[in-house]
Structure 1
Amino acid sequence: MTRLWTDSIRLPISAVGPENPLPPLAGMLDPPYKPDFSEVPDEIENGARYGQVSTVVPYLVQDGYQRSPEMTTTDAVVLENARLRATFLPGWGGRLWSLIDKDRDRELLHVPAIVQPANLALRGAWFPGGVEWNIGTRGHSPFTCDPVHAAVVAHVGGPVLRMWEYERIRGVVFQIDAWLPEDSPVLLVGVRIRNPSLDTVPMYWWSNAAVAQRDDLRVLAPATRAFRTSYRGQLECVNVPLQVGEDASRPLRARTAADYFYDLPAESSRPWIAALDTTGYGLAQISTPFLSGRKLFVWGETVGGRHWQEWLGGPHPTPYCEIQAGLTRTQYEHLPMPPEAEWAWVEAYGPVTAEPNAVHGADWSAALAAVEDVLPRRELLDGAFAEFRKNADQPPQGMLGHGSGWGALEEIRRERAGEAPLCGPGAPFGGTLGPAQWPWLTLVDTGELPEPAPEDVPVSYILGADWSSRLMRSPQHWATCYHLGVIAHAGGDLETARRYYETSLVHVETAWAWRALALVDSVHGGKADAVEGMLAAHTLAPGIRQLAVEAAEALMTADEPKRALQLIAELPATVAGHGRVRLTRVRAALAAGLRDEAARLLRGGIEVPDLREGEVSLDQLWAEACPGEPLPTRYDFRMK
């Protein structure tokens, strides 16, 4: 008999903390390399050029966490039958946190001992472990550290856990149904994405499963070549499993961090990937054909690769790798999703045991055949897919958790605009409006956007042609003009954004409009104008750490590092002591020629909670400040 119940887990968690109040208008962080697609098929390069975003607006960045985990209880939902126990965390993006094989009493996934956010997701905060669902655009999901809606759906096959949300960049609804038929050897997960708009939108999905790197773990997927990246930029075609000097199927033997995107046969009717130990036992992930991509990610055995795992998992982490499944051959690509389209597929996760000598033998074809023989048959997936589609619109019977109110707001906006509903009865959003949506609900209800006090931080942002039209028709004040500027700015129309920001400042001077205008000036303007705007913004809101850093960075870009140091020296202690501000101080000291001051700060130890790989080379800062001194491990985040 299958059971579904609510539970809780208790472990050390560093709270995500408050969002960055400043919209991320400066754009996405460039990778530490320029991608080189010269060795891959043209369709991969074309897919990589399509659908990229320059900002995650209307989302705000999550960078308010520290590195101070505390014992915390978090809600969970458990699905269990006679053979498997699956634990989900609706409050953390709906992540599948644990999958236990009850026959062997073995955990199939990597379950970290702590939850320590780090700056690796689209919105910043991210943590490893379990199976993460990534949607919308390349990168870790906007919902990685956010709650999603969750409910139980009852039908003849047993209880179903349903989770869903409204993804605001692409304007789509995604739904995840998870169920465990009685005595099923696999957890079944149905995924549906619905595009309610009349426009084609770029789409992205990858399901990322983390698995522990046990001795001689081998990762297998039905391919003889892969497209490999190793954080140098080249997307190169390599043989699988062997390439020069390295067996790509054995994560513990990887020298450096790398992605292996397997080139599965186009006609594959049951794409799969598996991670098996020396006994031939481990986790397999299979799916219906629509989810056709498969990937292995390894951290590698460099000091930097090991340090990243410690940064995420504590001082003695269990090494892990990731086996992943997606819509495209590589994670650089997006697919065009037609207007009013609906995409769906089924994934299955469960234990497999294959003949170990074949799995770990030198004959790759024999190893693949040994795994193929023990995987669930295609008929099981086809039956599960039919069941998923039949029940996908069945209304939930009982709510288990709530996500954001953005889907509810969009439902109201669409109804008032005479547009088709956002989604069907299977994924309801009613009753979830909150403070972030209230200004926009007022705009829809009354035709007027409320005018907050100039010192009040705007609580949220919005995108879309209909919202722009409503703002234009609203009585004009500083907030309407500012939000119209943000919409234009996020869309790349900097001159229109400039006009709106300047008009907003004519109404009332606010830190928010000054800061946004400075960002425009940093691209189309002068360094002096950008500095003036950032300093004006900082003066109006001196307690916002992120704004202080941006003002100091503007001064350094304008070749005024001593003024940057003076600005930092005048900050409140609560702001100046943050690792991000201290790192900015090191960079300013070096730029000002104060090497001894930079060395003193670095030797004293600086911990930047939201450090992002590739944004700054701590090893190079150390070499410049402390020439000839060995690089401390705590500053070694090199991925290549």
Structure 2
Amino acid sequence: MATTVRRAVLTLPAAPLGPENPLPGLRPLDEQHVVDERTRAALPRDMARQVGHAPLRTLLPVRVLDGYGRERAPADLDTIVIENDRLRATVLPGLGGRVHSLFHKPTGRELLYRNPVLQPADFALNGAWFSGGLEWNIGATGHTTLSCAPLHAAIVPAPDGGDMVRLWEWERLRDLPFQVDLWLPADSDFLYVGVRIRNPHERTVPTYWWSNIAVPEDERTRVLAPADEAWHFGYERSLRRVPVPVSGGVDRTYPLRGEYPADYFYEVAEESRKWIASLDAEGRGLVQTSTDTLSGRKLFLWGSGRGGRRWQQWLTEPGTPGYAEIQAGLARTQLEHVPLEAGAEFSWLEAYGPLAAGPAAVHGEDWTAARAEAEARLEEALPRARVDAAYEAWRPYADHEPGDPLATGSGWGALEVLRAGFKLPGTPFGEETLGEQQEPWRELLRSGTFPSPDGAASPPGPSLVAQHWRDMLETAPADPLTEYHLGVAQWHAGDVAQAVRSWERGLQAASSRWPLLRCLAVADLDAGNAGRAADHYAEAFDDLCRERGDGEAWSAATAALGREAIAALLGAGRAGAARAVWAELPDDLRGSGRFRLVEAQLLVAEGDRAGARALFDAGFEVPDLREGAQVLGEVWARAGDDPLPDAYDYRMRPAAE
């Protein structure tokens, strides 16, 4: 059959994403992939430089997604299906462009780990993320903020004369447009993926990319890559060089032989072909290869321990097989950000398809022979020269303008193009995509004034923080809402003193005080002033309770500010004031899993260990438990002396660490 592209609908049990958190992300969510200065000092010079290059200080201008739950119902998801007589790729344009499935027809094999449910969990830089498939991680260390966001999608001509699906968006953490082009040449066993990241600015921008492939795992799954050493990163936040395949007496290329979750970033020689494969007991599975720009390769494993198994169950449903991740990136490790110079771009080509290698060699004790066997079979199936030629053939097509849209992303790219007049052939960001969230900023651009909200009061909309928007806010009439957004932009720029002054000026005339007070509370915490932070949080929550109306946005604001306020008050030793905030929360919030944990923390602080233990015994789930979080075990230990039950064991590192 000829290669076809069509729309389709996939029905999955899904937990709704819920509303955005309206509180600005003045600080990043806890990111596990960080190392201390001593560790960094021992790294190779180029790696150390990139590890220390431009880490995130905030999540701005992106908003946190933490409004989801654990109750799933059948949901219809729009998909784009790319198909020839050998492969069928199913793409989710409304969820980060995730390739949900890659099915090889001749063997009847699903090459990816295909999650049977859509269950958001707190793994992305901004919260909501889900497991499975093939995802495109851009922005900064961690899972992209676009994990659960819509991308633009359309059909463009492919290099072989067929159709190609283009996905594109504006990545907002780094202010960079990017595109992902997917096509299946006729009779090909490999999905081709052309990726381009452009820097349209007049400054160098830190850049990050890792293609993340979830693959099925069992006890005989082995991951192979062209390396004899790797950088091991564990959730105790250490980075060290280890031999491949055996480290600590265990062959770490078998994901289930390790006990705890871990990353292995392979040391791939500069001259080596870039590839990674996950193969089963029969030597069959998926291989990923690319042109040399995408030089990094990684294995992530959950391990066989109780915590890793619990996380896998958390991300899907009982009885579902486990998975590991094989990945490919722009640097040796995911802790690094690579400078992209003004006006420059990174581009490369990836290929994904089946691999069949001799099982005796693949699973033999001779690692060199195992690697050689896999690489030889890859060369037969898809020669390195063909990948390089496909990249060269694709490059002229990267600028082709898309045809009729298959899906629509956000309006943020259109706003930036409208502001700066960027010329970005192949990735149009049309004004028709501008929406409600962009409108106040469009008005600021047009008139120099940030508009006050019309009608009923509501929580402030998203802030923009890039220098050009900050400059416009500084010259706009200084009403309280403008001062609020200006302070957020100044905070993002690292000008903490000016941010505090802007928020304090805004308070003088503000009828809605709680957004400004909350920002001041975060600044107090950042400065180590727990007492003043507690004062500001308590006042902010009281003001929110006086002002709040009905609707999803107000419920989200109440939940978010309530949790932050209680945590700050407990941190300042004010259990009584924290209990007062708790008493003002709506009943449905207090009964949710998120706030059951908060209640247990309150009870422990009040000295009621038995009451806290009773909450655990009754059972609860915290939908947005953060990746690597130890909080359940910590609160349990304060509530009693018994071993942590399986249901609450999400530990991703040894207890002694």
Shorter chain as denominator, the TM-score bin is over 0.9
For the residue of structure 1 that corresponds to 2:377, the secondary structure is coil
Aligned to 2:196: 192
TM-superposition CA deviations, 1:245-284 (whole Å, max 9, x none) = 210111122221111100000222x300001111111100
Q: What corresponds to 1:555 in structure 2?
A: 569
Indicate the SS of the match to 2:326. Answer: strand
Tell me the equivalent position of 1:418: none
Q: Is the deviation greater in 158-167 or in 524-533?
A: 524-533
8 Å CA contact 1:33, 1:231 repeated in 2 = no
- Name the residue aligned to 1:124: 127
Cα deviation, residue 43, structure 1:
2.3
What do residues 2-25 of structure 1 show as CA deviations (whole Å, max 9, x unaligned)? 111111111101111101010111
Number of the residue aligned with 1:224: 228
Residue number in structure 2 paired with 1:471: 473
State the secondary structure of the residue aligned to 1:92. Answer: coil
* Cα distance, 1:39 vs structure 2: 5.4
Please name the residue that 2:645 is paired with: 632
CA apart distance, 1:72? 0.5
Distance change (3 Å), C-alpha of 1:366 and 1:27:
closer
2:40–2:51: 8 Å Cα contact kept in structure 1? no
**Shift of residue 585, structure 1, vs aligned partner:** 2.0
Deviates more, 1:187-196 or 1:246-255: 246-255
Q: 1 CA distance for matches of 2:26 and 2:429?
A: 31
Write the distance in 1 (CA, Å) between the matches of 2:275 and 2:389. 17
Cα displacement string for residues 370-407 of structure 1 (whole angstroms, at most 9, x for unaligned residues): 11112111121112111221100111111000000000
Residue 392 of structure 1 aligns to a residue whose secondary structure is: helix
Residue number in structure 2 paired with 1:207: 211
SS in 2 for 1:562: helix
CA distance in 1, matches of 2:133, 2:147: 12
Matched-pair contact (CA < 8 Å) for 1:590–1:598: yes
Mark the runs of 5 or more structure 2 residues left unpaired by the alignment: 546-554
Matched positions, count: 633
Is the CA contact 2:31–2:125 (under 8 Å) kept in the aligned structure 1?
A: no
Paired with 2:588 and 2:401, the residues of 1 have a C-alpha distance of 48
SS at match of 1:68: coil
Look up the equivalent residue of 1:571 and give its one-letter code: L
- Aligned residue among 261, 265, 268 for 1:264: 268
Tell me how far apart the structure 2 counterparts of residues 379 and 179 of structure 1 sit (CA, whole Å): 18
Give the secondary structure class of the aligned counterpart of 2:399.
Answer: coil
Measured against aligned partners, the alpha-carbon deviations of 1:333-372 in whole angstroms (never above 9, x if no partner) come to: 1111100111100000000111111111111111111111
Any conservation in 1 of the 2:630–2:650 contact (CA below 8 Å)?
no
In 2, Cα distance between the equivalents of 1:526 and 1:320? 44
Residues 528 and 622 of structure 1: is their aligned pair in 2 closer, same or farther, counting only changes over 3 Å?
closer
Residue of structure 2 in register with 1:545 after alignment:
559
Partners of 1:527 and 1:214 lie apart in 2 by 48
Per mean C-alpha deviation after superposition, the further-off stretch among 173-182 and 253-262 is 253-262
Give the CA RMSD over aligned residues: 1.6
Superposition pairs of residues 322-361 of structure 1, within 5 angstroms: 322-361=325-364
Tell whether 2:182 aligns with 1:182: no
Output the CA distance in 2 between the equivalents of 1:212 and 1:97: 13
User: TM-score under structure 2 normalisation?
Assistant: 0.94
Alignment of 1:452 with 2:465, yes or no, is: no
In the other structure, the counterpart of 2:550 is: none
Distance 1:485 1:471 in 2: 9
Structure 2 residue 612 is matched with structure 1 residue 598: yes
- Indicate how the Cα distance of structure 1 residues 569 and 9 shifts in structure 2: closer, same or farther if over 3 A, else same: same
State the Cα distance separating 1:101 from its structure 2 match: 0.7
Larger CA deviation: 25-34 vs 439-448 = 25-34
Instruction: Describe how 1:506-525 pairs up with structure 2 within 5 A.
Output: 506-509=508-511, 510-524=513-527
Structure 2 counterparts to residues 92-171 of structure 1, below 5 A:
92-155=95-158, 156-171=160-175
Task: Work out which of the residue numbers 584, 589, 611 in structure 2 matches 1:575.
Answer: 589
| Alpha-carbon separation, structure 2, partners of 1:396 and 1:52 | 34
Q: Which amino acid aligns with 1:434?
A: G
**Superposition TM-score, scaled by structure 1 size:** 0.96
Q: Is the 8 A contact 1:562 1:588 kept in 2?
A: no
Give the deviation of 1:133 after TM superposition: 0.2
Flag the 1:253–1:68 CA change in 2: closer, same or farther, 3 A: same
Q: SS where residue 451 of structure 2 aligns?
A: coil
Classify 1:318/1:38 alpha carbon distance in 2 versus 1 (closer, same or farther; 3 Å). farther
CA contact 1:262–1:329 (8 Å) conserved in 2: yes
Deviations, residues 469-510 of structure 1 (Å, cap 9, x unaligned): 211222221111110000111222211111000111112142
Tell me the percent identity. 44
**Deviation digits for residues 520-579 of structure 1 (CA, Å, limit 9, x no counterpart):** 122337333222211221112235111011111121121112321232133220222222
